[in-house]
Each structure stands twice: as C-alpha cells, then as structure tokens.
Amino acid sequence: EAYRGVEKVIRFDRVESCETCIGTGAAPGSQPETCPACRGTGQLRQVQNTILGQINTVVPCARCGGRGKVVTNPCQTCSGQGRVRRARELTVEVPPGVDSGMQMPVRGEGESGTQGGPPGDLYIFFEVTDHPIFERQARDLHTVVPISFAQAALGDEIAVPTLSGDKGSLNLPEGTQPGTTFRVRGQGMPDVRDPNRKGDLHVTVKVEVPTRLTDEQKKLLRQFATLREEKLPQEHKGLFGRLKEAFTHHEE
C-alpha cells in the first residue's frame, strides 16, 4: 500500500458546530446577550495598588469567558456550548512513498471554531507495517535471496522479488561469495513528492549449504576437493569407530 498509494477510510471523533443553534449556544428563537460584567468587551481592567503606585492589568472576563456575550437561554442540544462531539468517517488518498512518522494535513476537517468560527485541519500520521521480505531504509529496499553452491560457483541468472510486480532478475557472476550485495536500480520505494523517482533494491545472496547428501554426492564433492587440492574433511567414523581409533593409538 505504501508503494502504490491507497485509498483509506478513517474514523474519528471531532467537535463540530451545533446544527440546532448554529454555534451560538442560544436556544432557537433567542440570541446571546451582551455580557453585563464587561459590557461586551470580553475583558476586565484591574487596578492594584503597590508601593510603586497603581498597576493596571487587563484580564479576560470570567463571566463570559472573554467572548463578550452570555447565553441566558441555552440550546438544549449542546447545553449552551455551541459545539457538540460527533463521530465522523472520511475517505483519504494516501500518496505512494509514505513512511512511518510522516503526516498529511486534510484542510478544513478538524474541529470547528468557537461561536461558529471556521474549522481547523485534520492531521493524519502514518505508520507503515513491516514487510515479510523487504526491509526499508528511506527509499531503498533490502532483501536476502538464497542461492545454491553451484549457482554461486558457476554464476547464474536468478529471479528476485519486487514490489512493482515486475519479474526482477539478477546476473550472478562466477565465484559469487556468500553475503555479496547487488543493486537493482529503480526497484525501491517511490519518492512521496515525486512518485516517478524511486530508490533501489539491494539484494544480498545467501549460499545454502546442502544437507543430507547421498554417498554418491559425497564422493563427487571429495573428488572436487581433490581436484582443487583442498584439504579433505575427515571421514565420519561414528562413535564406535572413534573409540576403536583412540584405543589403537593408545596401544601404540
């Protein structure tokens, strides 16, 4: 989803303007009245006498909360607050290339302002879940692909997984060593600001050592080692064979 972009339905609660009183807080047919304490200014001037003289300060009016208006006949829907909390559902377009920690604003989908003021914005924070095959580092992707001993020694063209759905391929040179990392350009994550720009895919090969070899296969591997003048591994003699060999050396 983060690679291609996706359409998501999100659900959230927000405070909205009351439809009954249109955000005024007053019951239908009535209007908020001018605050008698501050006479509609929303502020009160306080005078404090000190040894240095009088200090004048201006504070919000406690009677009206600084609004300059008081509701004497409150709306029954919002209890005179002018706003109510509602559950909302919204469909958003998530752009390709998003990563964990990124955020996207949706203008005008936040909570409503007081006294019928305009709404704010909704901010969506993204968290991208881990992928079972790929590890992401910014726009680059990293993965591990198993290969056989023969492929590593002789070279081969192998298929590599991609998020794009294209059949990715990689040419292994002869003598590829375990843990070698190859770069496949343009198969990483898209840039969230320019989806046409993509990172790279880094493929690390893991040579799988064969297990449970047959006698014939073991014989061929020993012949191979002899041809390369490599030190041959010791034959597996089992517990009885190792004990017999130990006693023989002891007697000598």
pLDDT one-digit tens code per residue, 124-164? 999 999 999 999 999 999 999 999 999 999 999 999 999 98
**Long-range contacts made by residues 128-131, C-beta under 8 angstroms, separation at least 24?**
128/2, 128/98, 128/99, 128/100
- Name residue 86's beta-bridge partners: 14
Q: Beta-strand (E) ranges in the chain?
A: 6-17, 33-34, 43-50, 53-60, 69-70, 83-94, 103-106, 122-125, 135-137, 140-148, 156-160, 168-172, 181-184, 201-208
Query: Helix H segments across 34-77?
Result: none
pLDDT level of residue 179 (50, 70, 90 thresholds):
very high
Among 116, 34, 126, CA closest to 72: 34
**Range ranked top by mean pLDDT from 105-119, 142-156, 208-222:** 142-156
- Name residue 17's beta-bridge partners: 83
pLDDT, residue 247, reads: 60
- What are 172's two structure tokens? 């292994």
pLDDT, residue 242, reads: 55
pTM of the shown model: 0.71
Is residue 208 classed as helix, strand or coil in its secondary structure?
Answer: strand
The secondary structure of 8-32, three-state, reads EEEEEEEEEECCCCCCCCECCCCCC
The overall average pLDDT reported for the chain is 88
Could you tell me whether strands 140-148 and 156-160 are parallel, antiparallel, or unpaired per DSSP bridges?
A: unpaired
- What are 28's two structure tokens? 């239908």
Residue 243's H or E segment, with its range, is: helix 238-251
Query: Helix H segments across 105-237?
Result: 149-154, 215-227
- What are 119's two structure tokens? 């709404």
